[in-house]
Amino acid sequence: MKDASGRIIYVGKAISLRKRLSSYFRASADHGPKTRALVAKIDHIDFLLVSTEKEALLLEESLIKQHRPRYNIVLRDDKRYMLFRLDKSSDFPRLTLTRTVLRDGSAYFGPFASASAARATQKLVGSIFRLRKCTDRMFKNRVRPCLYYQLGQCLAPCVLQVDRGQYREVVSQVEQFLSGRSHSLVRELRNRMEEASHALRFEEAALLRDQIAAIDATLESQASVLRDSLDRDVIALVQLPEGIGVGVLFVRGGKLLEQKTFHWAGLDMAEAPDALESFLAQFYSNERYIPARVVLSHPLHALADVADVASEAAADDPPGEAQHGTQSEAPVNPFEDAAPVTSDATGADAADAAVSETMPEAKAGALAEVLSERRGGAFRLGAPRGADERRLMDMAANLARTANRSDGAQDVASVLENALGLATPPARIECVDISHLGGTGVRAGLVVFEQGEPRKEDYRAYALPGAEGTGDDYAALAQWAKRRAESGPPWPDLLLIDGGRGQLAAVTAALAEAMPETPIECASIAKGPSRRAGELEDRVFRPGRRNPVALRPGSPALLFLQKVRDAAHRFVIGRGRAATQKRSLAGELISLPGIGPKTARLLFDHFGAIAAIKAADEAALAKVPGLGAKRAAKIHHALSVLTQSPPPLEN
């Protein structure tokens, strides 16, 4: 669905496009505020036809990631959680932290929403289990044991003859510890300690004793929430006054490890199934750790056709009278495996089972099939089963009620629209920053963000010779604004300037003079009066307003503007350094006999870098347009003298 400007504002899918689209435009339809706003802005609709529901799901996810439509659930908080990675392909694996899951046979443990908590756990594991800590490169080149060996925290396989079987045993212990099987590990270590003690190997027994004590101390702070050791995520949706709250619990090895909330503004529960399916496809990407089971509080839209069956099943089976089943070897369908219903099952379990048995496989399995392929193993989506999972679902629902509009950074554009008083949400944001070195080499760097993502092909660097030697940022920005007006559209929805009220006034005045018929919304971002608080005191200014805009420190909107500003700063500094280096290299070339400014330009245009020019032989130099064989020979001789190493100093 597109608006009048041709911008994509919503991407959806349906088996019957006719039914789905007609539901948007019925006069009797009771839509939520977000859908009503969407329908009001639809100008025309494009269609893409695919063969299967799985293809439609993957295409929808791809288009949402690419275009980030305003009225879709877009997972803007795409920062992946920290995971532990144990490289099983190495002879001597080490435990590392990563945010990306690779299908390379490594074992992954987590996730950790807090990087500091993950590093603290890594430090704990390193002190208990003697795995190597050094990188592969350091491991291959080390000539003596490191400090960790002296502290008794590494076996030093880099330089010592360590038995691989012994090392693999330590790796197995780490896997048991991180996967939640610590109690069995403690029993095993205690048996080995007693054996070592009886055999009078007291040093080994003391080491095992210390390991057991450290693991016991860790277990005291971990609360078990399940009686099994299956990894699962529990996702609950609840209706909030301003939208839908989402609570996610990450349960690993029967223990609650982490939690997360999201907020979907403007949606009601009638729209939740479609939003939930889109969210799951984005959340469980190829790079994320995907557990074996995800428990949902609400069925996906694929269950809508059999909702009546579920209701009838729940009505026919009063609480406490559900039939007991048996574990089958294969699932009835991809949505849910036919696990036995526990003795405390209620009608809800029977409803889930009824849905499982009656749902068409093609409808129910599209998302589960995709996520199973991404996981590289069996995967199940389903409703909570048994008292434990229902208790976890209640916890997730209570967590979802605490979600607020900042969770997930879903509404940054809307927040900026309201806070800055813009006419529309800023889809295209440009940011400019000035860089110079003591008033020389003045440059303006422009970065572009569209739909919250950097558009690096639109980045531009402007040389400002008229500002050389002045060190005047205001004059440089005014010159840049005229250059930007000359370059033409696309115009930004918001132009952000790195600076305070003075820089903002210089740009707005220059733009008003250069293009009075095309006003551009501008704002500036500057450091606060005290630099001690870092970016917490960053302030945003708007034209005609004396006081800064009220953006809460640490809010997603302010963090996003800081991200854009920092990108512009890095870009212009990098371009400035490259220009300075190029000038110095050009000076080095021009100082050689037979090379003037024109010849240096010919060489740079042909080879692109000073290293390539120095490495060129006489034949390659002769191929440069405008150079003959004689000049090429002369230049090659001069370059060989330039690159010749000085003789060593005598003692």
Question: Burial code of 191-220, b = ≥16 C-beta within 10 A, e = fewer?
Answer: ebbeebeeeeeeeebebbbebbeebeeeee
Residue 3 has pLDDT above 50, yes or no: yes
Tokens 């880099």 label which residue? 158
Neighbouring residues of 162: CB distance < 8 A, sequence distance ≥ 6: 92, 155, 156
Single-letter residue type at 233: D
Express each pLDDT in 220-255 by its tens digit. 444 455 667 678 899 999 998 888 999 999 888 777
pLDDT at 511: 92
SS3 541: strand
Residue 61 has pLDDT above 60, yes or no: yes
Contact 275, 410 (CB under 8 A): no
Contact 154, 148 (CB under 8 A): yes
> Which residue, 405, 407, 410, is CA-closest to 72?
410
Q: What is the DSSP string of 197-260?
A: HHTT-HHHHHHHHHHHHHHHHHHHT--B--SS---EEEEEEEEETTEEEEEEEEEETTEEEEEE
Which superfamily, per CATH, for 591-643? 5' to 3' exonuclease, C-terminal subdomain (1.10.150.20)
pLDDT at 238: 92
- CA distances 286 to 108, 157, 522, Å, are 14, 33, 38
Torsion of CA 105, 65, 250, 305, to 10 degrees: -110
263 vs 402: CA distance, rounded Å: 9
Express each pLDDT in 131-177 by its tens digit. 888 888 888 888 888 888 888 888 888 888 888 888 888 888 888 77
Neighbouring residues of 422: CB distance < 8 A, sequence distance ≥ 6: 416, 493, 494, 521
**Mean pLDDT of all residues in 19-41:** 82
| 70 secondary structure, DSSP code | T
Q: What is the DSSP string of 563-601?
A: HHHHHHHHHHHHHHHHHHHHHHHHHHHHTSTT--HHHHH
How far is C-alpha 433 from the geometric centre of its chain's CA atoms? 26
Single-letter residue type at 387: A
Average pLDDT of the chain? 76
Express each pLDDT in 172-218 by its tens digit. 888 877 766 666 667 777 887 888 888 888 887 887 787 677 666 65
pTM of full prediction above 0.75: no
Report strand pairing: 539-541 vs 380-382.
Answer: unpaired
Residue 396 has pLDDT above 80, yes or no: yes
> Which residue, 71, 42, 43, 75, is CA-closest to 61?
75
pLDDT at 411: 57
64 vs 58: CA distance, rounded Å: 10
Express each pLDDT in 431-471 by its tens digit. 999 887 766 778 889 999 987 888 888 898 888 887 776 77
Residue 345 has pLDDT above 60, yes or no: no
81 vs 110: CA distance, rounded Å: 8
**Mean pLDDT of all residues in 365-381:** 86
CATH 3.30.420.340 domain position(s) in the chain: 412-579
Single-letter residue type at 95: L
Express as a percent the part of the chain with pLDDT over 70. Answer: 75
Question: Which strands make up the sheet holding 82-86, listed edge to edge?
Answer: 95-98, 82-86, 107-112
Residue 278 has pLDDT above 80, yes or no: yes
SS3 93: coil
350 vs 233: CA distance, rounded Å: 22
95 vs 121: CA distance, rounded Å: 11
pLDDT at 602: 75
Residue 280 has pLDDT above 50, yes or no: yes
Q: Which residues sit opposite 47 in a β-bridge?
A: none
pLDDT at 550: 79
Express each pLDDT in 579-617 by its tens digit. 665 555 555 565 666 666 677 777 767 776 667 777 788
> Which residue, 476, 538, 530, is CA-closest to 503?
476
pLDDT at 363: 41
CA atoms within 13 A on the CB side of 424: 13
CA atoms within 13 A on the CB side of 494: 33
**Mean pLDDT of all residues in 54-64:** 87
User: Residue 644's pLDDT band (boundaries 50, 70, 90)?
Assistant: low
CATH 1.10.150.20 domain position(s) in the chain: 591-643
**Mean pLDDT of all residues in 284-288:** 79
Contact 450, 66 (CB under 8 A): no
20 vs 171: CA distance, rounded Å: 53
**Mean pLDDT of all residues in 414-431:** 84
CATH of domain 412-579: 3.30.420.340
402 vs 415: CA distance, rounded Å: 19
pLDDT at 224: 52
Residue 270 has pLDDT above 90, yes or no: no
**Greater pLDDT, 324 or 269:** 269
